Structure 1
Amino acid sequence: MGSIIVINNSGSPISVFVSKYSNSDGSDAWFTLQPGGRDSWSRKGWELVAFKNANDTNRTGVYVPADSTVTFDDMAHVSVV
């Protein structure tokens, strides 16, 4: 099984959600990632990685394959490698 790595490259905490379409054992709860923080989710196949701000007035997301690294800079700048 692969993983999806998420990096918060912003100066603020951000809430992160990684779907579990391909891994029913994983968690798809919202998780707070601190500035400069990094975490990984075990997944296989394609998954949605979503972000929301603290008061949930703005969201963005990307659909990525396992073994991707998703870097959040701000709501308008999310990159995938």
Structure 2
Amino acid sequence: MRWKGRRQSDNIEDRRGGGGLVAGGVGTLVVAVIVLLLGGDPSALLGGAGSPSTGEPPDPEAKEFVAVVLADTEEVWQEQFK
């Protein structure tokens, strides 16, 4: 598929590299409290928690590819609903 240089959708929000730790941390805490209330050991659950890996920065080409595919999809559905 030749996608470079084609129209990209504006309906893309690049959230890669963002901190998903807040929601994951709260979810883990809730599960740990439930385990504790049920008489389990929440330390086994919390022991493996660490900071997310930094890894490589997000690839801008991947975002562009997704934006082009979404633009194509939007065009197809726009024609279907006319």
Q: Which TM-score applies when normalising by structure 1? A: 0.19
Q: Which has the higher strand share?
A: 1
Higher RCO (C-alpha under 8 Å, 6+ residues apart): 2
Structure whose CA Rg is larger: 2
Q: Which TM-score applies when normalising by structure 2? A: 0.19
